[in-house]
Amino acid sequence: MAQVSPHGLHHVTAIATDPQANVDFYTRALGLRLVKQTVNFDAPETYHLYYGDEQGSPSSLLTFFPWPDVPQGRRGAGMTTATAFSVPGSSLGWWHERFKNLQIDTDAPTTRDQEEVLTFRDPDGLVIDLVASEGDHRSGWDGVADIPAEHAVRGLHTITLSEQQLDPSATMLTDLLGMNLTAEEGSRSRFGMAGGTSGALVDVFAGVRERGWQAGGTVHHVAFRAPDLATQTLWQQELRARGVQVTQIIDRQYFKSIYFREPGGVLFEIATDTPGFAVDEPLLELGRSLKLPPWLEPNRAQIAAALPPLQLEEDIP
Ligand code: ZN
């Protein structure tokens, strides 16, 4: 029987309100690259904004649906309640200073499970952690003038799922998705994929009583990596054979996707590493202009007219 074994986190998708505030925060304050400006393929009157490293590599990606009028959500059980990025081991102090100077809502660095963590919130209240990670050799994006390359965000590190109970969710992670329990501390259990390094970690925080409410400032879904379409197709069959309700394979233009829910209610996606973000614009120009998939291109004028204009850094005189 095939084994479903994602080799890392692919992306995290969250809900924002104002797209301009979202772009400003993630590109200028956090120093990620806007690697794609497109629309929510299921609701094309809404942007879908992708941030990541230079190429938008899988495991570097955080994406947003900005819905300007969405109310504030609430974190709780059945949700992804924190998204962590890794930064070099000695950089947390530098980031703490930067966030204080930029008046970003941040906590003091703490030590959690032998890792140094700096928690902050984006303009919509989405919780992001920076984790000091010595062994992360990814290069990140060094295209932001006031963020030295030595401190740049390297990519995703961990996602944290909050659950009422550990067991049913943990069983799906280990028995179905091939992850290994690598650490336990209090209510937090850590699961690793493919060696369990930075970018391939899932924490489950159990014993959360109140269920969350998905809206502004909360995570919509998390995606894990499949190398290619053939592997994803095998995994889809395997998930179905194991009784999981999984969607058909959906073309997301930059990857192919299947979706299913874990027992605690968090929406999971498995996304292919290919073809990636340079499929419809050159690497140097990623994110500069609105890109649409071929099936929405005939409606470009109407779609573009309904979207609020975005001002990118290079547009500012
Ligand atoms: Zn997704």
- Condensed to tens digits (0 to 9), the pLDDT of residues 192-247 reads 998 889 999 999 999 999 999 999 999 999 999 999 999 999 999 999 999 999 99
How many angstroms separate the alpha carbon of residue 93 from the centre of ligand 1? 32
Look-up of token digits 């990814």: 138
pLDDT single digits (tens) 268-286: 999 999 999 999 999 999 9
* Cα 234 to ligand 1 centroid, rounded to whole Å: 19
CATH architecture for segment(s) 9-315 = Roll (3.10)
pLDDT in tens, 245-256: 999 999 999 999
Residue 316's pLDDT band (cuts 50, 70, 90): low
Q: What percent of the chain has pLDDT over 70?
A: 98
Is residue 95 classed as helix, strand or coil in its secondary structure? helix
- Distance between Cα 270 and ligand 1 center (Å): 8
The CA distances from residue 59 to 55, 140, 150, in Å, are 11, 11, 19
- Distance in Å, CA 186 to ligand 1 centroid: 30
Whether pLDDT at 317 is above 80: no
C-alpha 63/C-alpha 275 separation (Å) is 17
Domains of the chain by residue range: 9-315
pLDDT digits (tens, 9 = 90+) for 19-71: 999 999 999 999 999 999 999 999 999 999 999 999 999 999 999 999 999 99
User: 219: CA distance to ligand 1 center in Å?
Assistant: 11
DSSP code per residue over 133-174? -TT---------TTS-GGG---EEEEEEEEES-SHHHHHIII
The alpha carbon of 57 and the centre of ligand 1 are apart by a number of angstroms equal to 14
CA 221 – ligand 1 centroid, Å: 6
